[in-house]
Amino acid sequence: MTNPKNAPFGSVLASTMAVAHYRDGAWGKTEFRVTGPLEIHPAAHALHYGSECFEGFKAYKHTDGSVNVFRLDMHLARMQNSARALVLPEPDPAQLRAAVLELIARVREDVPDAPGALYLRPLLIGTTPNIGAAATPATEAILIVLASPVWDYFAGGMKPLKILIEEHAQRCAPHLGMVKTGGNYAAAMGPTLAARKQYGVDQVLFCPGGSVQETGASNFVLLRAGELLTRSLDPSFLHGVTRDSILVLARDLGYRVEERVFDVAELLAYVQHGEAALSGTAAVLSGVGTLVRDGKEFKVGDGGIGPETLRLRNALVAIQQGTAPDRYGWLTRAC
């Protein structure tokens, strides 16, 4: 297997995957197979009508050799909600949980030491073969769990991000923002690639009608000494587990945490003397150095990664890697 240190995030896969089929109203047994192609009918519902959803979370090898999954049950509950929103057969939560834990045990040799991790990717796709089912839900499905050894995003040093403020295009349909479904990423791809080309930015911060939401695959938080501001939960954006964890840690560290709607004018005023960061499983918490609006650049603080971003990031990573106590019961030991 390629060393994950030398490979882009998600491009190296463990040799085993878990697969289960839903047919005739019931889930079959989970099978563990060599990671590779699946036979799917070209008329499969997901390929035409986008009936698919996924999850993404990490398991960490601690210095005692144990491998521990971060907030497994919150991720599995979100997968359940995504399946329900898309009218897909819902995974059996106990079966999926067991499949994830057994898969980790089976690929344990491939779990990198810290600061690497094993990234887990459950995937649910509607497979009913019927190209006339645009308004009919899939009644057959496949549930897959892939595992990918990953390295620290910032192993080469943390570089502040440059982000475009987009006030017109939407990331996705407003009622589906909280669902981790492929179509949402396809919808954000065009605006994101256009912004990269035109402004040389890393990501796009979607702010439809001026209301700050999130980027294509991460939540957005503002920070100042002892203060945190982020959008309050609503169906328009993804309810990140990292976001939730950062809010818990910030409250415990005595920050004043505000969850509410705010607009681009307030954002630009805030960052003159504040920090901005993206949150998500892949990169944990990444500092934003520059915002671009209508072609004009705005520095966030002094343009570097701020101390509050680093403090919260380090507090979370310490729990994940087992160097700080798991005070909130966030870890599930897989093996």
Nearer of residues 72 and 139 to ligand PLP, judged by Cβ: 72
Per rule CB under 6 A, count of chain residues that contact ligand PLP: 14
Residues 121-140 that bind ligand PLP (CB under 6 A): none
Q: Is 243 in the site for ligand PLP (CB under 6 A)?
A: yes
Residues 162-201 that bind ligand PLP (CB under 6 A): 180
Name which position in 69, 241, 276, 292 contacts ligand PLP (CB under 6 A).
241
Name which position in 30, 68, 128, 218 contacts ligand PLP (CB under 6 A).
218
Q: What is the closest distance, in whole angstroms, from the C-beta atom of residue 74 to ligand PLP in the complex?
A: 8
Nearer of residues 128 and 218 to ligand PLP, judged by Cβ: 218
Nearer of residues 139 and 285 to ligand PLP, judged by Cβ: 285
CB of 331 within 8 A of CB of 302?
A: no
Q: Is 240 in the site for ligand PLP (CB under 6 A)?
A: yes
Residues 272-331 that bind ligand PLP (CB under 6 A): 279-281
Q: What is the largest CA-CA distance in the chain?
A: 59
Q: What is the closest distance, in whole angstroms, from the C-beta atom of residue 279 to ligand PLP in the complex?
A: 6
What is the binding site for ligand PLP (CB under 6 A)? Answer: 56, 180, 214, 217-219, 238, 240-243, 279-281
